[in-house]
Structure formats: C-alpha cells, structure tokens
Structure 1
C-alpha cells in the first residue's frame, strides 16, 4: 500500500505529501514476524504486513485488542491507557511501518498549511473509528459464554461483508486470544455450532446461518 493511499492523508496531493515527508520527519522501518514494534509517542502507519495490538497483563500474558493489516494506523493517539507501556505491538507478518512523531502532527504549523489541517482532521476521524471498534470489542466481551462471544463476533464480520460468508482476518489461535477464551474450549464450541448447523467452516472461511 502506498503512503498516499492511507486514510490519514485523504485529500492530500502527492506534492503536499512529499513536503510533509520531510516536515514530519517520517521514518520507514521494517520488522520481522513476532518482533515487537516500538510505539512510544509515535503514530505508526502500516504499509504492508500485519500487526496485533495487545494489552500487557500483570502476569506477563497478552490480550489482543486489535489485529490490523495493510493501511492500519496505531500509536499513542489511539491508546486508551494512561501508560503506553501497557500496550505491546507485535509484528504478525513481516511488515513495513512509517513512523511520525505525534508532535509533528499536533504542533501548530507556522505556515498554517492546508494539508496539515487536513491530516489533523483525518486523524480525528480515524480516532472516532477506533472508538467504534472498541465499542464492538466491549459488546463482544460482554457475552459470558464462548458461543455468545463467537456469534457476536461473527455477526459483526457478517455485517461488514454484507453476506453470510466472511473470512477470519487471523488464525483461530488469535481469535481465541481476541475473545479472551481458551483455544481448546473455543474449538469444541465451534465444532458443536457446526454440527448444529449454525455455522459452516472451511479453513478460515465462515458461513453464519441466520
């Protein structure tokens, strides 16, 4: 994915982006699978590959908050935690990330550039989308049973595709982590749902029958 295609730069021309690349001191880095990606006070723009955003628990375990692929944006702007150390970003598939220090976005531009204002506006819209995604996660986790969580998650995915069929964006192990449930128990529940005719599975492709 090209940087200009990222929603953060919607409405920005190639010439303006080239100027901002230098003004914002953008840094492009690559990461390998399972490598931790530092975020600090940066905004990370995922050009290719995939990453998971995880919460670090007191016992050292990780709970997946979000999984994103090409075009995803993560970083301090999108954290709901007071301490950034509570978040761990992990490279799930070899990825390329462009970093921007948040101060370059939030500080007032001396020339009051129109494209700078556009980026700030786009960032606010993206933050709104993140809040919506978080509300989905809260609704999913509000269900006590594994089946309830699975059905809620599947229904959200079905609504996004507009069809009964959809593909999981990550592995079943990652799904269990995302739902905060035991992997083996989730597998048993999926098998029951399949036998009862509630779902059909072929690899990561899921069909949810209403």
Structure 2
C-alpha cells in the first residue's frame, strides 16, 4: 500500500515523509504470520500502521482465555493509545498473516527540526480522527458481546457486517476460532449455533463468507 493512501498521513507530502524518515520517526519491518509485534505489558512509543497483511489486537488472561478486540487491516493504525500515554499495554498485537508494518515514533515526532515540524499537527489531527472512528468500532464490539445468548451475539455481529458492506452477502475478517474469540464464545458452541441457523434458513456460510436470508430492518 502506498504511504500517501494511509489516512494518518492525509495532507502530508512526499518531502515531509522523507524528512520523517531521515529524522528517525519512521521504520518498516516485515513479519511472518502469528508473530507478536507488541506484547502485553510492553511500554511503547511507536504506533503501528499495516502496509500489507493484517493484525489482530487481543487480550489473554492468566488462564489462557483469549479475546480478540479488533482486526486491523491494510492502512489502519494500532497501539496508538499506548504510544501516546506511555502506559503498559493491556493487549497484544499479533499478525494474522504475513504482514509489513510501518512504525511511527510519536516521541521523536515531538522533537522534529523546524523544517519538518509543520507536519506534526497534521498527523495528530489525523490521529484524533482515526481514534474517534476506532472508538465506534470498539463500541460495536460491546454491542456484540453484551447479549447472553449465542444467537443474539451472532445476529448483532452479522447484521452489523451486512450494514457495513451494504449487502446481505459478505466476508468477515475472522476464521471460526477468531470469530469465537471476538464474540467471547466457545468455538464448538458457536459452530453448533451456526449450523442450527443454517437449517432454519436464517443464513448460509462457507468459511468466512456469509449470506443472510432474513430481511434486515
């Protein structure tokens, strides 16, 4: 993905990007699938930007229970809150597939030369806009995990995906285990309920492709 297409660099020109690299604010790195980029407990000053591939942000408790909080796709930012506040991370960021990540050092961004300093406020404004959008995404996850029954959680999540894509046929960014982790459900119970819903004519699916048959309100 071209850096100019990334939302956090909206209105930043090539010369300014080159200056950011020269002053040590940016670096790129490639990762294999299932590689931990940031660990829970890390204190960081860099945020990550997905140039290719994808990343999941997840939490694992002391008993090994895993919850996926968000799926970060190409062009999106992750770990920006921790990079800004300097608090130990309560989550881990792990590649869902082979990925290339661009790191932006927010600490070094504060000490740019006068020539490059003009882009600092633009980046922070873009970051604020991105953070607001991500808060909406996290709010949607809360909606999905609040209902007590598996079916209710599935219907809220899948309806949301249909609304987002504008179609009752869509792909989700998770495999079955990832979907269970995102919705805080047991995988076998999730699969069993999906099977029931298919038999009842509510939906159909193949791997991560779903089709909803009941009319959406």
Normalised to the residue count of structure 1, the TM-score between the two structures is 0.91
**What's the counterpart of residue 144 of structure 1?**
148
CA distance in 1, matches of 2:69, 2:146: 14
Given the superposition, is the C-alpha separation of residues 201 and 78 from structure 1 closer, same or farther in structure 2, using an over 3 Å criterion? farther
Structure 1 residues 19 and 83, CA gap change in structure 2 (3 angstroms): closer
Whether 2:191 is the aligned partner of 1:192: answer no
Secondary structure of 1:185's partner? helix
> Counterpart of 2:158?
154
Matches within 5 A, 1:1-210: 1-38=1-38, 40-77=44-81, 83-105=87-109, 107=110, 111=114, 113-208=117-212, 209-210=214-215
Displacement of 1:78 after TM fit?
Answer: 6.0
User: Does the 8 A contact of 1:4 with 1:17 survive in 2?
Assistant: no
My pick for the range that moved more, 84-93 or 19-28, is: 19-28
Q: Distance in 2 between matches of 1:130 and 1:10?
A: 17
| Structure 1, unaligned runs of 5 or more | none
Q: How big is the alpha-carbon RMSD for the aligned residues of Structure 1 and Structure 2?
A: 2.1
Shift in alpha-carbon separation, 1:31–1:179, aligned structure 2, 3 A: same
Cα contact 1:49–1:95 (8 A) shared by 2: yes
Question: C-alpha displacement at 1:137, in angstroms?
Answer: 0.7
In 1, Cα distance between equivalents of 2:99 and 2:106: 21
Which stretch of the first structure deviates more once superposed, 135-144 or 38-47?
Answer: 38-47
Gaps of 5+ in 2: none
1:21 is displaced (CA, Å) by: 2.2
Q: How many residues were matched structurally?
A: 208
